[in-house]
Structure 1
C-alpha cells in the first residue's frame, strides 16, 4: 500500500505517480469532494427516481461509490442502485481492504472487502461492478445510465478520458435525462462535452469553487447555463479535446 495522505476533512487519499496528481483535492477533502462535486448535485437532479444506474469514472480508492452509499443510508433514501466503475489498476483495487478509510465508511467494510477480493458486490437493492481494464472499451458495453461521475485525472495528463470521442460514447451509454458531473471547468473540457451533444451548466455549491455538469437537453435549472456557441465566438482559440491519431 502506498503512503496515505490526509486531506482537510480528515479522510485519506493517495498520490498517483503515473499521473503526478493526488486522487483528491487536499484542501476540499476526499469525502467532501465526492459529496459536493458528484453525489449531491446528481441525486438532487434525480430526486424522484427509485432506480438509478451510476457510471463512476474511475473507481480509484472508491470514494465516489462509497460516499454515494453512505449518503443514501444516512438520509434514509431507499432506491435500487447499480454502480458500474472501470479501473485500470488491479493492484490498487486489491489493496483497498487495507486502506485506512474514514469513520463514515465503517459500516461499509464488508462492501470494501468484497470489492477488493471479487471486484463485484450485490446485496438487496445494491449492485456494484468493477471492471479492470480499458474504460473506453467498457463504456461501450453499458446502456441506460442515469448518472456519470466524470472524475478521471485531469485532461492535461489523461486526455483520453476527456475527448469528444470519449464523451460521444458516454452520450450513447446514457439515458435522455442523464446528468454528467465533473470538477473540471476548463473550456476545452466543456467544448468536448458540448461537441459530443451535451448542454453545459455551472454550479457553485461551496460559494468559492465552480464546477460543471452536463445534460442532454437544455432546461430551466437552478444553475448557470453556459452558452457554448457564444463561448466559441468569443474565444476562437479554444478547442475541444480529440483523440490523438
Structure 2
C-alpha cells in the first residue's frame, strides 16, 4: 500500500511487519538523510572511498539518498554499496514505484539496479543481494558505514541480536560507524555486547538516535552512553540473542 509522507516522498506499508517503511511525519527522504546519510558522511568526511552496508534495501531510499547527497554536494568520494533484501517481490514491484522528483537525476541508476541487481561506473558500485542478510554479511569485509535500518526489533528480532551485530563487527573496518534510528536500551546493549561503543546524537533537536563505533573516542556532537554503567543501574536490562 503506497503512502505519501510529509515531504511528498512515497513509502509503503508492510503487512508482514505491520509497520510503514518510513516515518510518515518525517518523510522518506528526510529520514534517510537525517538518520543515516548525513551522520555517516560527516563522520567519514576525510575518507575518499567508502564501503557501505545498507540493512535492508527496502525501497532503496538510504542507498539512493546517499548517491544523491554526494552528487548534489559535489563530494569527492567513491562508493561501494552492499544491500541485502529478503523480499524479491518487493524489489520487482519497485520497477513501477513512483520515486520522488529529487531522484530524477539518478533515475538511470535506479532503473539499471532494479533490473540487474548490480550497478557500476567509475565512482559507484552497488550490489543488491536477494536473500538472507545474516548470510550475506558473512561474505563482506572492510565496511566503513552500516545503515542499520531493519524493521524494529519487536517484529524483526533476528536483525538486532548480539550474534548479528558480532558478524557486522567482524565485517567492518576499525573506523566503522553504525547508524540506527533505534534508541532502545536493549538494542544498544546488544551492540555493546558485540563489541561496539554507543553514542547518542540529536541532529534536529527533536529526536534522539544511536550511532555505534568500535573504539571509544570523542565524537563531535555526540554523547557517549556508558552501557556498563547502565547495566549496573538496571539489573533487568538484557541484550537480544538468537
TM range (shorter): over 0.9
* CA offset digits 1:71-109 (Å, max 9, x no partner): 000000021100000001111112212111111001111
The answer to whether 1:98 aligns with 2:107 is no
Counterpart residue number, 2:238: 239
Q: Secondary structure at the match of 1:14?
A: strand
Contact conserved, 1:19 with 1:157, CA < 8 A, in 2? yes
Counterparts of 1:77-226 in structure 2, within 5 Å, are 77-222=75-220, 223-226=222-225
Residue 180 (structure 1) shift: 0.2
Question: TM-score normalized by structure 1?
Answer: 0.97
Contact map agreement 1:163 1:192 (CA 8 A) in 2? yes
Segments of structure 2 that go 5 or more residues without pairing to the other structure are none
Structure 1 moving runs of 4+ over 4 Å? none
TM-superposed CA distance for 1:52, in Å, is 0.2
After TM superposition, the score normalised by the length of structure 2 is 0.98
Please state whether the residue corresponding to 2:228 is helix, strand or coil. Answer: helix
TM superposition shift of 1:206? 1.0
User: By how many angstroms is 1:124 displaced?
Assistant: 1.6
Aligned to 1:54: 52
**Shift in Å at residue 23 of structure 1?**
0.2
Question: 1:189-235, CA deviations, whole angstroms, 9 ceiling, x for partnerless residues?
Answer: 00000000000000001111000000000001121000001100111
RMSD (Å) for aligned C-alpha atoms: 0.6
Give the conservation status (yes or no) of the 8 Å contact 1:96–1:113. Answer: no
Q: Which one is further off, 99-108 or 165-174?
A: 99-108
2:64 corresponds to which residue?
A: 66
> How many angstroms apart in 2 are the aligned matches of 1:157 and 1:11?
25
Aligned residues: 241
Distance 1:164 1:4 in 2: 33
Q: Report which stretch shifted further, 108-117 or 42-51.
A: 108-117
Q: CA deviation at 1:65?
A: 0.1
